Amino acid sequence: MTHRARWSRRLDAVCADPSLFRLVLHPVVDVAAGRIAGYEVLSRFPSTIPTEDWFVAARTLGRDADLDKVVLRGALRLLDRLPHGAFLTVNASPTSLSDPEVMSILRAQDLTGVVLELTEHAACDPRDLVEPLAVLRARGAIVALDDVGTGHSGLLRMAVVRPEILKIDLQLVRGLEGDLVKRSLVQFLGECAGRLDAWIIAEGVETVAELDVLRGMGVPLVQGFLLARPGDDFAGLGTEAMRMLHRPERPALDPVRRSGDLARRTKTSRSVSAAVRVAVEDCAPVVVVDVEDVPRVIVLPGHRPGERPRVEPVDIRLAPETPVSEAAGRALARAAGVRFDPLVCTDSTGRYVGVVGVEDVVLDLAADPTAGYRRQPWRMGA
């Protein structure tokens, strides 16, 4: 039997019987808050053959979508058990998004809290991703680019896809404490993330030295065996990981003003229709929250008498500790039509805190234009 035939039979078996493989969960850690921010779903296939070889074989045989379908079905079932305030990362090849069955699986699910991670191994025209990603974002998905800095996850794909998360490849993380060039590249990618209003996640963190350098650079989210290994359930952080994360850091040289200082609580509603009525009556923003007080959309009153309120998705969530200067940069990174809309502030569990007016941000910066620029963490709010 040929090599291709053997792999074809293996893929046929797994696709026909999903019980032949299992899914594990690898935590993504918020190093500032000292908690798990999310979990990445990883596949473990039968035999001693590395997982990566399965996906390489599927790609070689033109069966990326076949393997992605069976894995995505299993991964999305885990949403029912996802801890509150955490995200769930599922992986898919960019080329699989052209498959109607893959898109059907994703569209059938409320993707709020789901990070769709585009694996970097497959080459495709990034413009082909714009339409399917718009559909999935409308369902609530957040888009991540995997292994940024290597392979096909280059600057053009970043510019076209406009991901909400950039994952720095472990090859750039490995040994960066002694490599100025690697640190400079991480810094550059962090600045790109800031321009995109994106989170940044450093993968493959395995030593305390790597963790310390990343924390010192302001990288907010990390993933690696140092803090947590993949497991069969939604496990919390271990005692040793908590000890490493709660070691005292040297305080910043200058005080940095935070977005939470400018946040003001508005009225909230559970339905858009009710929020629209209140926005008209009060001529003030109303935030629509779900049953767990997580903001979903913001209703903004019209600028002129009789103008119908606008209903906009909550596209930016600021953490209370986000520097005011960073809030300004993220506001201005938005499209022109919504650039001066209020920013929504949430706590570490995703619950609504208040809104931050862009005018207040500008006035605050005008009082001290240098405040907050000493250290720029590359993160979105919790």
> What's the pLDDT tens digit per position in 101-152?
999 999 999 999 999 999 866 667 889 999 999 999 999 999 999 878 665 4
Residue type at position 330: R
Using 50, 70 and 90 to split pLDDT, how confident is the model at 256? low
**pLDDT tens sequence across 152-192:** 457 788 888 999 999 998 999 999 888 878 888 888 888 88
| Residue 356: predicted pLDDT | 93
Using 50, 70 and 90 to split pLDDT, how confident is the model at 378? very low
**What is the chain's Cα-based Rg?**
22
What is the torsional sign of CA 173, 177, 179, 181?
positive
In this predicted structure, the answer to whether residue 286 has a pLDDT above a threshold of 80 is: yes
Range of lowest pLDDT (31-35, 56-60, 292-296, 371-375): 371-375
| Residue 74: predicted pLDDT | 95
Residue type at position 188: F
In this predicted structure, the answer to whether residue 381 has a pLDDT above a threshold of 60 is: no
The residue behind tokens 């805190």 is 353
In this predicted structure, the answer to whether residue 25 has a pLDDT above a threshold of 90 is: yes
| Residue 358: predicted pLDDT | 92
Q: Which of 182, 188, 184 is nearest to 166 (CA)?
A: 188
Burial of 61 (0-12, 13-18, 19+ CB in 10 A): middle
Q: When comparing pLDDT for 68 and 179, which is higher? A: 68
What is the torsional sign of CA 215, 381, 375, 152?
positive
In this predicted structure, the answer to whether residue 22 has a pLDDT above a threshold of 70 is: yes
In this predicted structure, the answer to whether residue 249 has a pLDDT above a threshold of 60 is: no
| Residue 303: predicted pLDDT | 79
In this predicted structure, the answer to whether residue 376 has a pLDDT above a threshold of 70 is: no
| Residue 149: predicted pLDDT | 62
Burial of 259 (0-12, 13-18, 19+ CB in 10 A): buried
* C-alpha pair distances (Å), 55 with each of 7, 119, 120, 123, 314: 11, 10, 12, 14, 35
In this predicted structure, the answer to whether residue 382 has a pLDDT above a threshold of 50 is: no
Contact of 363 with 327, CB cutoff 8 Å? no
Take residue 49 and report the two structure tokens written for it: 């053959």
In b/e form, how buried is each residue of 213-225, taking b as 16+ CB within 10 angstroms?
A: bbbebbbbbbbbe
What DSSP line would sit under 271-289, residue for residue? Answer: SHHHHHHHHHHHTS-EEEE
Range of lowest pLDDT (6-10, 73-77, 268-272): 6-10
| Residue 370: predicted pLDDT | 40
| Residue 348: predicted pLDDT | 86
Q: Which of 223, 195, 196, 226 is nearest to 209 (CA)?
A: 226
Contact of 57 with 75, CB cutoff 8 Å? no
Tell me, yes or no, if the pTM score tops 0.75.
no
List, in sequence order, every residue forming a beta bridge with 354; answer none if it has no partner: 345
Q: Identify the structural domains of the chain with CATH numbers, from first to last.
A: 3-245 (3.20.20.450), 259-367 (3.10.580.10)
> Helices (H) and strands (E) in the chain — how many of each?
13, 15
In this predicted structure, the answer to whether residue 61 has a pLDDT above a threshold of 80 is: yes
| Residue 273: predicted pLDDT | 94
Range of lowest pLDDT (179-183, 223-227, 323-327, 358-362): 179-183
Q: Across all residues in the chain, what is the average pLDDT?
A: 87
pLDDT over 70, % of the chain: 91
The residue behind tokens 């629509």 is 288
